[in-house]
Amino acid sequence: MKKLLLTAAALAALTTVTTANRLAVPVIPGAIEDTDACPGTGIVEGLNPHGDGFLAVKAGPGLNFDRIDKLFNGAQVHICEQRGEWLAIVYSRTGNWTERCNVSHPWPRALPYTGPCRSGWVHRRWVGSLAG
């Protein structure tokens, strides 16, 4: 019984953490040695303003993950990683570079991104490369 209670408590804590950062698959800057933590930059483009008009930011690299945010044409993003057709990104709340996201320099080690900006996963079809 004690083991069952500890397992339930661990699951509750895990659910709380997952809900808090809302990412099923964390964005991990700093994985490439001697480069910026997120070495690429891009801009959201090509979205149909007469369709949905937004790019879904997902909790992981795939359609089956929850949408956690929306980005619109012109939003600028830091690209940290690519998995197939999906990009791990860090982006400001305003969609431009006015906020410092702390990923434009090397990190001493790879760690899950926790802020001050937002992070998530987007399909690469809608992100044009600015650099990296």
Task: Quick: pLDDT tens for 61-80.
Answer: 999 999 999 999 999 999 99
Pairing relation of β-strands 55-58 and 127-131? unpaired
For the chain, the structural domain boundaries read: 23-131
Q: What is the pLDDT of residue 23?
A: 87
Is the domain defined by 23-131 classed in CATH 2.30.30.40? yes
Task: Determine the Cα–Cα distance for residues 110 and 27; give it in Å rounded to an integer.
Answer: 10
Q: Is the entire prediction scored with pTM above 0.75?
A: yes
Q: What is the pLDDT of residue 90?
A: 96
Which segments of the chain have a pLDDT < 70? 1-21, 95-99, 131-132
Token look-up 């001050």 returns 116
Q: What is the pLDDT of residue 96?
A: 63
Q: What is the pLDDT of residue 49?
A: 78
Q: What is the pLDDT of residue 82?
A: 94
